[in-house]
């Protein structure tokens, strides 16, 4: 009797493997790992912002509206809990995208303002922070691209036959994806001319 149960179990496992169960498991784990890295890089960016804002304020305190915009956008990002469950909720995922997009836009506006202040551009502390921010933006882009590819692979498995039957049986559903518009926006990190221009002076 015990051998019969074992044989039955092996048959079931073999059928599931042939119907994409193992692929669903693998691709789902890849998505979780990719999402964790996306969140990690976004958090790295958020952690840089307070020092960046304070440094800019030291040279351009009159730019209150732009500085406040960055601070508020960062605060909005902080209200969204980027848990692993978020990637299964299209509405929550959209809110996350929008909040990060607003922060990217606010940072871009801040970088435009910086161009008006040669002394700020030549300040070493600002230059270090900007270099860190630009590096983080690049890492965000890489992490997002990996996540996008992982979701694409997973969603194909969920939709195609016969793995779609296995997906329905075990409750695997398509996961939301970063939108094309949002991807274009994030792929263009803020740029700053480190040269400082002919009129640049030290702090």
End-to-end, the C-alpha distance of the chain in Å comes to: 84
Whether the Cβ atoms of residue 201 and residue 118 lie closer than 8 Å to each other: yes
Which residue is associated with the tokens 């630009």? Answer: 134
Distance from C-alpha of 9 to C-alpha of 3, rounded to nearest angstrom: 10
Does the CA dihedral 168-170-157-161 come out positive or negative?
negative
Distance from C-alpha of 117 to C-alpha of 121, rounded to nearest angstrom: 6
pLDDT tens, the chain, 203 aa long: 555 544 444 445 444 445 788 899 999 999 999 999 999 999 999 999 999 999 999 999 889 999 999 999 999 999 998 888 899 999 999 999 999 999 999 999 999 999 999 999 899 999 999 999 999 999 999 999 999 999 999 999 999 888 888 888 888 899 998 865 544 444 444 443 333 333 333 33
3-state secondary structure of 29: helix
Q: Tokens representing 91? A: 């509405």
- Burial class from Cβ neighbours inside 10 Å (0-12, 13-18, 19+) for residue 14 reads exposed
> What pLDDT was estimated at residue 189?
43
Which residue is associated with the tokens 């001319």? Answer: 193
What is the CATH number that goes with domain 23-186?
A: 1.20.1440.20
Whether the Cβ atoms of residue 103 and residue 77 lie closer than 8 Å to each other: yes
> What pLDDT was estimated at residue 18?
54
> What pLDDT was estimated at residue 20?
80
CB neighbourhood size of 137 (10 A) = 20
> What pLDDT was estimated at residue 194?
34
Rg (C-alpha) for the chain, rounded Å, is: 23
Q: How many residues does the chain have?
A: 203
> What pLDDT was estimated at residue 170?
86
Distance from C-alpha of 78 to C-alpha of 94, rounded to nearest angstrom: 15
> What pLDDT was estimated at residue 1?
57
Reference 190, options 142, 149, 147, 136; nearest CA is 136
Indicate the pTM of the whole model.
0.77
> What pLDDT was estimated at residue 2?
56
């Amino acid at each position: 009797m015990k051998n019969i149960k074992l044989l039955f179990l092996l048959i079931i496992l073999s059928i599931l493997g042939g119907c994409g169960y193992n692929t669903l498991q693998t691709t789902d784990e890849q998505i979780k790992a990719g999402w964790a890295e996306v969140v990690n890089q976004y958090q790295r960016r958020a952690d840089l912002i307070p020092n960046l804002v304070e440094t800019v304020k030291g040279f351009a305190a009159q730019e209150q509206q732009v500085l406040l915009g960055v601070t508020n956008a960062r605060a909005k990002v902080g209200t969204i809990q980027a848990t692993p469950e978020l990637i299964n909720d299209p509405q929550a995922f959209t809110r996350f995208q929008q909040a990060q997009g607003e922060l990217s836009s606010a940072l871009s506006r801040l970088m435009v303002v910086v161009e008006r202040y040669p002394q700020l551009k030549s300040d070493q502390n600002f230059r270090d922070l900007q270099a860190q921010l630009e590096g983080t933006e690049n890492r965000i882009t890489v992490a997002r691209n990996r996540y996008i590819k992982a979701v694409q692979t997973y969603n194909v498995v969920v939709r195609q036959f016969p793995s779609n039957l296995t997906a329905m049986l075990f409750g695997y559903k398509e996961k939301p994806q970063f939108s094309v518009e949002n991807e274009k926006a994030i792929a263009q990190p803020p740029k700053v001319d480190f040269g400082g221009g002919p009129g640049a002076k030290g702090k």
